[in-house]
A and B are shown apart, each in its own frame.
Chain A
Amino acid sequence: MNLHSNRATALAALVLSLSLLTACGSEDSGSDSGGESDGGGDVSLTMLPKNLGNPYFDTSTTGAEAAAEEVGATIEQVGPETGDDPAGQVPFINTVAQQGEDGLIVSANDPEAICDAIGEARDAGVKVVTFDSDTNPECRDLFINQATSEGIAAKQLELISEQIGGAGEIAILSAAANATNQNAWIEMMEAELESNPDYADIELVDTVYGDDQDQKSFDQTEALLQNHPDLKGIISPTTVGIAAAARYLSESEAKGKVMLTGLGTPNQMRPFVEDGTVEAFALWNPADLGSLAVYATAALVNGDITGEEGDTFEAGELGEFEVGPDGVVLLGEPFTFNADNIADFDF
């Protein structure tokens, strides 16, 4: 990641105008992608997470950088400051298209809002792979799925049910109200709660949105506890949300009475697992996700695969993967972190 040159460009752009968001990041990649075609040179990739400053995406970018080195590609991360604006990623996608990059790896803030921009990028010859959060399937070439929505939803319900003893009121603290992956998981959880007899005594009483901002997620946790005095558990399927909720719970009278689980990163959750606020939470390894996304994009750019169902490609240490229906590549099962194993991880 060429943070140093970004620093200078970003600062200069800031002083001049509000066009910061479009200018930040991509101006210095012209050296290797000056022409329309990339006749055998390095593969140039751009990583566009939902927002910067998010440890989850930091880890996926780290994995992506390692994989890029393996396949001989250059990779650069750009992105908006916050993840709550559906069209906030559009300027970055436009820049990628104008600069004729080979591949774009993006976690979509909205399934629809960035489709037109992606379409233009693909017309300009950019291979577009979504990871973590998908657009509509026809917009992109491939989607790297961290886990199936069913798998994630089932895992989180399993954890919360275990922690609250199989009965009581629960609530969900999500990211933005229009985040594709969050909403898919929430729908699955609702369906599972309805249909699975094991969860007959669990009632989902509220779903609130923290927009992946620390303060808002923190305040929403407070509101949940205040408005639902009988609440037994909170599921937060977002790394920012679960950390903020844990921080609130750790100093609240509800600590130990209201259980919290969801998707979090070990480094952020470590103090709260150690002090007993949180028993267990889940996640896949985001570094593997970023890495797989780079292998898949490189395979597309090099023409090894076309993104058709049944195509297979090698992803280094991760092994061989097959493209499923709708151009989806599945990483695997979510992993559970608890007091016994959290010390083994550092991301």
Chain B
Amino acid sequence: MTPHAGIRHPDGTEASTSEVLLVEPSTLSPARRMATTVLRSRELSIFLVLVAVTVVATLKNESFLFSADGWRNFWVNPSLLLLLAVGQAVVVITRNVDLSVGSVMALTAYLTGRLFIDQPGLPIVAVFAICILAGAVLGLVNGMLVAYFNVPSLVITLGTLYIYRGIVLSWAGSDRINAGDLPSDFLALGNKAILTIPVLTIIAMAVLAAVGYYLYTARGGREFYAIGSDPDAAVLYGLNVRRRVLAAFVLSGALAGLVGVLYTARYGTVSSGVGSGIELQAVAAVVVGGVAIFGGSGTVWGAAIGAFLLVTINRALPSLGIEDFWQRAVVGVLILGAIVLDRLLANRQARKLAEAREMTT
């Protein structure tokens, strides 16, 4: 006899554990539970789309994956967007958004070039550190404004998007960093590979793993989700909402700062227009990757796969002979599809919970 005997559906059948507790304590073994979680996850479905796109493009043109350049580009091209998407995912999970990342990235990309030109002796590691720190400070500004002034982050970061871009514009003016201005060791970073995997990708994956592990296991990580699910409840529960929101923006800014350095290593030229519009790609990657735009659910793994998918689709579609316009349209369809799916799932969940509540009361 189950411990909740006595609670019955209107038709007389007994209510299940999940309906009583609202959250089901699984009776499956941990391994099978993990398998079910993976199989049912949004991440898996977009991962399969990614695999499908890659397979089709490779069948059509095998150099897509199996040439030295193709293999490198497959890994390295999504790496920058992936890093931005990881930061963006954390911010979105707390029910915020960071639109300033493209401008932060432009600032640190130009800063990277200026450091190499003006301080020739500076080691590469120091340039990384300075730019990540600079990004974190810019993120901190975003976070302070959002956390302490109670203005929606959409408005705040739209404002800082223009302010940070304005700083780049007036600082760089019509100046530009050329490949010839940068040390060759640094430029080689953009191209170097360890066991055929580009260094840029390894950096991106390491960041992804660290952030993903923290969000999944650490108390602080879970608090991001709690805040995003219901900010008011999080405050009532005694969570330090401000500190967490601040941390999310600092992380996003620091990662954008890192992306600025990596961009310079990869592309070798920096002008004041670097990264304009990339913030929307980052948001798109996050949404396509199954992070709910109103916060509280989703994973950075999903956001990372989303970034991979967007970039890979953009690489694959031209080789399938599809026009530029339709490439953008495909991205649009993916975003709309992800949001519709999100709504449907959320509604179904809400309905289930409501039914369960009616039965227990």
B268 at the interface (CB under 8 A from A): yes
The 7 closest A-B pairs by CB, nearest first: A14-B166, A53-B271, A7-B170, A251-B191, A52-B174, A53-B272, A271-B180
Interface string of A57-76 (1 = CB under 8 A from B): 11001000000000000000
| With A227-B61, A267-B180 already in contact, 12 other A-B pairs whose C-beta atoms are closer than 8 Å | A3-B170, A3-B173, A10-B170, A11-B166, A15-B159, A53-B173, A81-B273, A209-B324, A215-B263, A215-B274, A226-B73, A251-B191
Which residues of B approach A to under 8 Å, CB–CB? 61, 63-64, 67-70, 73, 77, 159, 162-163, 165-167, 169-170, 172-176, 178-180, 190-191, 263, 267-274, 276, 314-315, 318-319, 324
- Give Cα A61–Cα B173 distance, bound, in whole angstroms: 13
> Given A222-B73, A253-B69, A247 and B174 touching (CB < 8 A)?
no
Check A81–B169 contact: CB distance below 8 A: yes
A15 and B273 in contact (CB under 8 A), knowing A52-B173, A223-B319, A227-B319?
no
Query: How far, in Å, is A329 (CB) from chain B's closest CB?
Result: 25
A residues 222-261 near B (Cβ < 8 Å) are 222-223, 225-227, 229, 240, 243-244, 247, 251-254
Overall SS of chain A's interface: helix
Contact status B179-A271, CB under 8 Å: yes
A51–B271 Cα gap in the complex (Å)?
A: 11
Residue of A nearest to B319 (CB): A227
The residue of chain B having its C-beta at the shortest distance from the C-beta of A13 within the complex is: B166
A271 to B181 CA separation, bound complex (whole angstroms): 10
Which residues of A sit under 8 angstroms from B167, Cβ to Cβ?
11
Asked if B318 and A247 make an inter-chain contact with CB atoms under 8 angstroms apart, the answer reads: no
Across the interface, do B162 and A20 meet the contact criterion of CB distance under 8 Å? Answer: yes
Are A51's CB and B269's CB within 8 A? no
For A253, list chain B residues within 8 Å (CB): 67-69
Residues of B within 8 A of A7 (CB): 170
Most buried by A among B191, B263, B315, B318: B318
Q: Please, which residue of chain B has its CB at the minimum distance from the CB of A49?
A: B174
Residue pair B273, A58 in contact (C-beta under 8 Å):
no
**Of A18, A82, A219, A251, which is within 8 A of B162 by CB?**
A18
Number of A-B contacts defined by CB within 8 Å = 118
Residue of B nearest to A61 (CB): B174
A58 & B162 in contact (Cβ 8 Å cutoff): no
Q: How far is the CB of B88 from chain A (nearest CB, A)?
A: 19
In the complex, which residues of chain B have a beta carbon less than 8 angstroms from the beta carbon of A267?
A: 178, 180
- Tell me which of B61, B163, B174 contacts A58 (CB under 8 A): B174
Interface centre among B68, B159, B267, B314 (most CB of A within 10 A): B267
- In whole angstroms, how far apart are the Cα atoms of A11 and B168 in the complex? 10
- B169 pairs with A52, CB closer than 8 A: yes
Give A212's nearest chain B residue, CB to CB: B273
* Residues A227 and B318 in contact, CB atoms below 8 Å apart: yes
Give which listed residue, A11, A54, A254, contacts B69 with CB less than 8 A.
Answer: A254
Q: A10-B170, A223-B315 are contacts. A53–B273 as well, Cβ < 8 Å?
A: yes
Q: A20-B162, A54-B271, A229-B63 are in contact. Are A252 and B318 (CB under 8 A)?
A: no
A312 within 8 A of B: no
B167 to chain A, nearest CB (A): 7
* A214 part of interface (Cβ distance < 8 Å): yes
Give the docked Cα–Cα distance between A215 and B272 (Å): 12
In angstroms, Cα B190 to Cα A237, docked, is: 26
State whether the Cβ of A6 lies closer than 8 Å to any Cβ in chain B. Answer: yes
